[in-house]
Structure 1
Amino acid sequence: MHEAAEAAGALGRAAGLEKAAREHSGWYARYLWAFAAGQLVLVPMAVLWHGLTSALVFAAANTALVTGLSVYAARQRVVRRGFGVKHGVLLGSWTVLFALTVTLGNTAFGSSVPFAAVAAVGCALPLAVGAWSETRSAA
């Protein structure tokens, strides 16, 4: 009888832990939405602005965004199963898109505002899709 009570207690603790993980796992969706919103500002800045001053402003804004998001992520207690793979795929796809955007923006499109607008949305898209899917899976 004692073993059954221990097993029931362990199952109860496991259920409580799963509930806490689900309740606190929405942070990653907020993280991705903030990162996606940052792309709507940073990508046009990277494509349209030229010179030392623009590079310094871009570096400061990007550093502030990444630092803020990193501090926010480090303070979270819960990481869902598969987080590392999902995060790696999302940031890897963003990295490829951002590098392609900056390369094309500086070589082929120059200071094209339409290109910068489309590129900003394109760079934010994988992050927004990830945030949307994270919101759906956390519910």
Structure 2
Amino acid sequence: MQREEALEALVAAQDVNSRVRRHGRWYAGYAAVYGVLTFVFTLGVGLFPTPITVGVVTPLWVVAVCGLSVYAYRQPVSPLRFGRLHLAMIGCWSVLYTGTVVVGAAFFPGEAWWWGTGAALCAIPPFIAAAYAHAIAAEPQA
């Protein structure tokens, strides 16, 4: 391989790397939206614990998560270590959400301090995942 061919191959590889990183940024937005939805829906169900609220909020949550899932499925590129990142986010979120809802429903129904704190805690894993995904999708600095 001649010097010119090597330089062309290097430029092509850098171009592919740049495009893959750019297209991998979608997960940061996905996780941030999931965090906002988590905060809003957890707060809504917790502060207004009536069957009507649960009957309205639960289908909205299902539609929102289905919409995010369709969006994720249609993306052409997955970020680096996407599977691990997503499983870690959902795993941590599940523990925090379950704890918030079970303890809150049993001992703190309608208590703003509990549900506000719990909703904020539930939103932390998605926001951390969003920040991490954004960081790994950024172009490396020379």
Within 1, Cα distance between the matches of 2:5 and 2:87?
39
Q: What is the CA distance between 1:12 and its match in structure 2? A: 5.3
Unaligned runs of 5+ residues in structure 2 are none
User: 1:74-113 alignment to 2 at 5 Å?
Assistant: 74-113=73-112
Within 2, Cα distance between the matches of 1:20 and 1:134?
15
Deviates more, 1:24-33 or 1:55-64: 55-64
Q: What is the CA distance between 1:5 and its match in structure 2? A: 8.6
Question: RMSD value over aligned CA atoms?
Answer: 2.1
Deviates more, 1:42-51 or 1:61-70: 42-51
Q: What is the CA distance between 1:135 and its match in structure 2? A: 1.2
Q: 1:87-120 deviations in whole A, cap 9, x for unaligned? A: 0001100011000010011112121011111111
Q: Where does residue 41 of structure 2 map in the other structure? A: 42
Deviates more, 1:33-42 or 1:6-15: 6-15
Give 2:102's aligned amino acid.
T
Within 2, Cα distance between the matches of 1:104 and 1:86?
27
Q: What is the CA distance between 1:53 and its match in structure 2? A: 1.6
Q: TM-score, normalized by length of structure 2?
A: 0.85
Q: 1:39-94 deviations in whole A, cap 9, x for unaligned? A: 12100122233333222112111012101101111111011231101100011000
Within 1, Cα distance between the matches of 2:51 and 2:64?
20
Within 1, Cα distance between the matches of 2:12 and 2:67?
33
Give 1:93's aligned amino acid.
C
Q: 1:3-46 deviations in whole A, cap 9, x for unaligned? A: 99987776555433322111111100000110011112100122
Q: Is the 8 A contact 2:100 2:118 kept in 1?
A: yes
Unaligned runs of 5+ residues in structure 1 are none
Within 2, Cα distance between the matches of 1:57 and 1:138?
37
SS at match of 1:81: coil
Across the two proteins, how many residue pairs are aligned to each other?
A: 138
Q: TM-score, normalized by length of structure 1?
A: 0.87
Within 2, Cα distance between the matches of 1:15 and 1:135?
19
Deviates more, 1:19-28 or 1:43-52: 43-52
